[in-house]
Amino acid sequence: MPANEPAQPTTDDDQVVSVALQVDGIAMVQLLGPQDRLLKTVERQYPGVKVVVRGNEVTLTGPEREVARAKALVDELVGMVKRGQDIGPSDIPMSARILDDDRKPSDTFGTPIVSSRGKSVRPKTDGQRAYVDAIDEHTITFGIGPAGTGKTYLAMAKAVQALQRREVTRIILTRPAVEAGERLGFLPGTLTDKIDPYLRPLYDALNEMMDPELVPKLLAAGTVEVAPLAYMRGRTLNDSFVVLDEAQNTTPEQMKMFLTRLGFGSKMVVTGDITQVDLPGNVSGLRLVTRILETVEDIHFARLGSEDVVRHTLVGRIVDAYTVYDEERLAEQAGHRPGGRGSAPVGNPDGANRAERRGRPPQDRQRPPYPQNDARGGNR
């Protein structure tokens, strides 16, 4: 440093401080997690802060400002445990983000929707909270957002809650078996063998929210029904809580068919991600219905984003990166739409296949490296 240049003063925020917190009234394993997993998550949230635990004392050491933030987080986590909430790794970054906005995580997380075997299901972000509130307040709710935002899981939790409170007499969970084109008859095996692979995620969630020994009895009695969307046709669903999952893979006709199954005393939740459409050559019914029913009374569209992802923190970044990529591809397609007689439109692999079968030259059959929905809501 030159002799005539004054030394930079050290700010209060840069001063290293140490704060000890005495934690009483809870088992420390509830706060720290197995093998101190949650403690390590706190350290990753505030890289400059070292966390040391001795008995029931938690000591935070690091820059003053970061220690203050970490202390507020630990205080909030202790309060959650005392209120009976089980804490997972995803709760820590979510709570830290809420605290940075000068709000209390408890106001967002609220009371559990359902609890089973010591674990509770509750909203963990503002978007999830608004989604759950919308389900309470509307007959039909659409939950639209990327993977990991809890769309289906929270909807199923609300369905289980409604059954436990005797607000409905049965739960119906359905999703389109798009990989088999909803035509399951040609597949080998019994009906259960055919549909189980498509519905397994719903069974898994049910077993997490209810007593696993009770679930088979409810399924056998018809109190809980898990079935492909094709099996909803021609029915009227009264006194039921109905959840349609993977709705982005419904055609407009299937979506209309499903929504018109609504009977008296029933509630419907439709979930999906309009950026992940797997339909072969059809417009997504979920994308279209947002334009048709947006203004209809007692129907609500809840939109979740990357900030509502409660899986690994990388999932939120992946969602954001793909969103940027998709927007760039749409802009590219709008400016360089392939022309010429018989050429396949971008994002229409079936059209490209038809061109190939007709012997078109390769330049007329170019396909983008990442097919996706076009701006009109078409198929990838």
- Per-residue pLDDT reduced to its tens digit, 1-49: 444 444 444 455 578 898 888 888 787 877 777 767 777 788 888 888 8
Span 262-267, mean pLDDT? 96
Using the Cα atoms of residue 260, residue 157, residue 197 and residue 190 in order, give the sign of their dihedral. Answer: negative
Percent of the chain scoring above 90 in pLDDT: 29
Is residue 76 pLDDT above 80, yes or no?
yes
Confidence of residue 145 (pLDDT cuts 50, 70, 90): very high
Architecture per CATH, domain 13-109, reads as 2-Layer Sandwich (3.30)
Nearest Cα to Cα of residue 332 among 281, 276, 374, 380:
374
Span 83-97, mean pLDDT? 76
For the chain, the structural domain boundaries read 13-109, 119-311, 315-364
Tokens 């394993």 locate to: 29
pLDDT digits (tens, 9 = 90+) for 186-198: 555 665 666 677 7
Is residue 156 pLDDT above 80, yes or no?
yes
Helix (H, G, I), strand (E, B) or coil at 242: strand
Is the distance from CB of 245 to CB of 152 less than 8 angstroms? yes
Structure tokens at 334: 């709008």
Pick from 145-159, 186-200, 284-298: least confident? 186-200
Is the distance from CB of 13 to CB of 24 less than 8 angstroms? no
Q: At what angle do helices 126-137 and 151-164 cross, to 10 degrees?
A: 40
Is residue 308 pLDDT above 50, yes or no?
yes
Structure tokens at 229: 């969307």
Span 284-304, mean pLDDT? 94
Pick from 136-150, 283-297, 338-352: least confident? 338-352
Which CATH superfamily groups domain 119-311?
Answer: P-loop containing nucleotide triphosphate hydrolases (3.40.50.300)
* The pLDDT value given to residue 110: 66
Burial (CB count <10 Å: 0-12, 13-18, 19+), residue 126:
middle
Confidence of residue 262 (pLDDT cuts 50, 70, 90): very high
* The pLDDT value given to residue 259: 97
Confidence of residue 169 (pLDDT cuts 50, 70, 90): very high
pTM of the model: 0.67
Q: How many helices (H) and strands (E) does the chain have?
A: 13, 11
Is residue 134 pLDDT above 50, yes or no?
yes
Strand partners for 249: none
Helix (H, G, I), strand (E, B) or coil at 160: helix
Confidence of residue 112 (pLDDT cuts 50, 70, 90): confident
- 228-242, 306-320, 336-350: which has the highest mean pLDDT? 228-242
Span 210-231, mean pLDDT? 90
For 256-281, letters b (16+ CB in 10 Å) and e give: ebbbebbeeebbbbbbbbbbbbebee
Structure tokens at 197: 């692979």
- 72-76, 160-164, 359-363: which has the highest mean pLDDT? 160-164
pLDDT digits (tens, 9 = 90+) for 326-375: 778 777 777 765 554 444 444 443 433 433 433 444 444 444 444 444 43
* The pLDDT value given to residue 185: 54
Pairing of strands 299-303, 140-144: parallel
Query: d(Cα 378, Cα 279) in Å, to the nearest integer?
Result: 9
Span 114-119, mean pLDDT? 72
